[in-house]
Amino acid sequence: MFTYDVAIIGAGAGGLNTAMEAASMGKKVVLVDKYKPGGECTWAGCIPSKALIQLADEIHTAKKYANIEVNGKQIMSKVRQLIKKAHQAEAVEQLQAAGIEYIQGDAKINDQHSIRVVDEIITAENIVIATGSRALIPSIKGIDQVNYLTNENVFQLEDLPKNLIVVGGGPIGVELTQAFQRLGVQVKLVEMADRILFREEKGLAHQLQSTLEEEGVQLYTSAKALEVKQANGTTTLTINRNDVLEHIEAEQILFALGRKPNIENIGLDDLGICYTNKGIEVNEYNETSVRNIYAVGDAVGPYLFSHMAGFQAKQAMRHAFLEMHTPIEQHPAWCTFTHPELARTGMTENEAREKFQDKFNVYTVSYSELDRAVVDQQTTGEAKIICDQDGFIIGASILGERACELLGELQLMKTFHIPFRKLKDTIHPYPSYSEILTQLSNVATE
- Residues contributing to the annotated binding site for FAD: 50, 131-133, 298
Query: Which residues are part of a known binding site?
Result: 50, 131-133, 168-175, 191, 258, 298
Query: What is d(CA 177, CA 175) in angstroms, rounded to the nearest whole number?
Result: 5
Query: What is d(CA 226, CA 335) in angstroms, rounded to the nearest whole number?
Result: 30
Provide the 10 A C-beta neighbour count for residue 258: 15
Query: What is d(CA 139, CA 136) in angstroms, rounded to the nearest whole number?
Result: 10
Query: What is d(CA 240, CA 247) in angstroms, rounded to the nearest whole number?
Result: 9
Query: Which residues are part of a known binding site for NAD(+)?
Result: 168-175, 191, 258
Query: What is d(CA 95, CA 40) in angstroms, rounded to the nearest whole number?
Result: 18
Q: Which amino acid is at 225?
A: A
